[in-house]
């Protein structure tokens, strides 16, 4: 995995356009403890139900959960499911100005029946038809308005008919005029329609279908065939439990093994990867950093039953498990840290950053974590001792470290610790808010 120290901290909340097939995911949960006397099938005793945005909607949901400002471009039918889908998206902070109600279509619904954390069956209610000319023209007319201030575009194609060749071509043209990067998650065998996007992100099966090759052919050959077919900078292939492989037009290959504690359900993992990759690239991260973060996000997603939305807080904590240096944040990059600490009780200890690591300091760290398990260290020196930082980051008592850029008051006002301390002659000294202005 690419070393990710600082990568998450460098994410910048921005507007992301997601164009693609919107659908409603419905879940029915319960227990199946006996077989029906009517037929040899299990009886499900329903315990709960929930509805979530699916398809491109899941990408939007993940972007919102990551703290970005997602903008939807898609369609729903004139039906109850379409109204529910728009309502959920709006509640999750998604801009739905680009969600078109099409009288010729019905909202796609995928209903999953889950017993004891195992999916028993999926019921699909949908009509697959191309976007009407009127709806297509409406989407194209909306593009200039929707693209205002956008840092990146995700195309989430589920083959339901919204992303027509004409609409994709117009999105590519408009993005090129504004120098906006496009990442496309394709569907079907014809990848020509995505020509001009920056990055194509199929799953393994889609990649082989797009290259018209048998599954026993090497993946490098698949990449070679796809690059021959379309204008593309990078091909990124998601491979479920095998991780992610990235190929450049120049022949470079980078493999990212799966990072997960337990694989429960790969549903929606591709959407999570698309969301994190688009957010990362829109924030100016390198492709390698973007894929590495996406791989971590996918690992979190497949540990959850059903489509999961991954938060910056989850990402921040997971990264510290792989690299203790990921605990360290610059003060000007509090976006991810604020999300990680939201509604979590923690204490903050201000240190000079050039002191020796003493038994008194270690005892103070242990004492603070007895009250609240989470502890943030604020370093008052803009150029602290790197050895001290490395040592502090390696300790399980230390949750995160913030290096000064402005003032301690600025940090405290953003992350809101329960209590703030510094050290006075080796002893913990509680600080009041007015004491923080010049620290």
Strands 328-330, 346-351: pairing kind: unpaired
What size, in residues, is the chain? 439
Measured between alpha carbons, how far is residue 99 from residues 28, 106, 197, 214 in Å? 26, 13, 22, 38
- 199 Cβ contact partners less than 8 Å away, ≥ 6 residues apart: 181, 182, 183, 184, 232, 233, 234, 235, 236, 277, 281, 287
Q: Which of 158, 119, 106 has the alpha carbon at shortest distance from 32? A: 119
Q: 100 phi and psi, to 5 degrees?
A: -95, 130
Asked whether 125 and 111 are in contact (CB, 8 A), the reply is: yes
**Cβ neighbours of 410 (radius 10 Å):** 16
For this structure, is 271 an active site residue?
Answer: yes
Burial of residue 411 (CB within 10 Å: 0-12, 13-18, 19+) is buried
**Torsion region of 226: left, alpha or beta (phi above 0 gives left; psi -120 to 50 gives alpha):** alpha
- Contact indicator for 233, 249 with CB cutoff of 8 Å: yes
Long-range contacts from 168-174, C-beta under 8 angstroms, 24+ separation: 168/193, 168/194, 169/193, 169/196, 170/140, 170/143, 171/19, 171/143, 172/196, 172/197, 174/143, 174/144, 174/147
Report the DSSP pairing between strands 95-102 and 199-200.
unpaired
Q: Which residues contact 312 (CB under 8 A, 6 or more apart)?
A: 8, 11, 65, 66, 67, 335, 336, 339, 340
Looking at 25, 95, 185, 271, which residue is catalytic?
271
| DSSP 8-state code for residue 325 | G
For the annotated catalytic residues, the residue numbers are 271
């Amino acid at each position: 995995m690419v070393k990710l120290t600082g990568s998450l901290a460098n994410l910048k909340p921005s507007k992301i356009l997601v164009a693609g097939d919107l659908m409603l995911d419905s879940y029915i949960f319960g227990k199946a403890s006996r077989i029906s006397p009517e037929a040899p099938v299990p009886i499900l005793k329903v315990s709960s139900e929930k509805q979530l945005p699916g398809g491109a909607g899941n990408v939007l949901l993940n972007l919102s959960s990551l703290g970005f400002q997602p903008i939807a471009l898609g369609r729903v039918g004139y039906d109850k499911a379409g109204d529910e889908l728009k309502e959920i998206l709006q509640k999750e902070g998604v801009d739905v100005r680009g969600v078109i109600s099409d009288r010729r279509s019905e909202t796609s619904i995928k209903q999953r029946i889950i017993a004891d954390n195992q999916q028993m069956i999926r019921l699909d209610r949908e009509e697959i038809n191309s976007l009407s000319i009127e709806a297509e023209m409406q989407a194209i007319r909306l593009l200039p308005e929707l693209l205002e201030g956008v840092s990146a575009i995700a195309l989430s194609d589920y083959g339901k008919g919204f992303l027509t060749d004409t609409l994709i071509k117009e999105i590519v043209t408009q993005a090129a005029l504004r120098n906006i990067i496009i990442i496309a998650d394709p569907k079907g065998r014809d990848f020509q329609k995505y020509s001009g996007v920056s990055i194509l992100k199929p799953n393994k099966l889609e990649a082989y279908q797009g290259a018209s090759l048998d599954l026993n052919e090497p993946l490098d050959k698949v990449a070679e065939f796809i690059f021959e077919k379309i204008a593309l900078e990078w091909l990124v292939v998601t491979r479920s439990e095998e991780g992610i492989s990235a190929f450049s037009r120049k022949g470079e290959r980078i493999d990212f093994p799966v990072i997960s504690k337990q694989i429960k359900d790969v549903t929606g993992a591709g959407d999570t990867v698309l969301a994190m990759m688009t957010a990362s690239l829109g924030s100016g991260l390198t492709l390698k950093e973007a894929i590495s973060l996406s791989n971590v996000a996918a690992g979190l997603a497949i540990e959850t039953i059903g489509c999961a939305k991954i938060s910056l807080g989850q990402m921040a904590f997971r990264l510290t498990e792989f690299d203790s240096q990921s605990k360290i944040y610059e003060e000007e990059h509090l976006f991810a840290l604020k999300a990680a600490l939201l509604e979590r009780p923690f204490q903050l200890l201000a240190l000079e950053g050039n002191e020796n690591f003493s038994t008194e300091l270690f005892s103070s760290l242990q004492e603070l974590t007895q009250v609240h398990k989470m502890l943030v260290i604020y370093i008052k020196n803009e150029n602290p001792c790197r050895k001290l930082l490395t040592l502090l980051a390696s300790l399980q008592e230390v949750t995160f470290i913030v290096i000064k850029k402005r003032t301690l008051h600025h940090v405290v006002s953003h992350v809101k610790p329960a209590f703030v301390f510094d050290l006075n002659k080796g002893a913990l000294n509680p600080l009041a808010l007015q004491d923080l202005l010049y620290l």
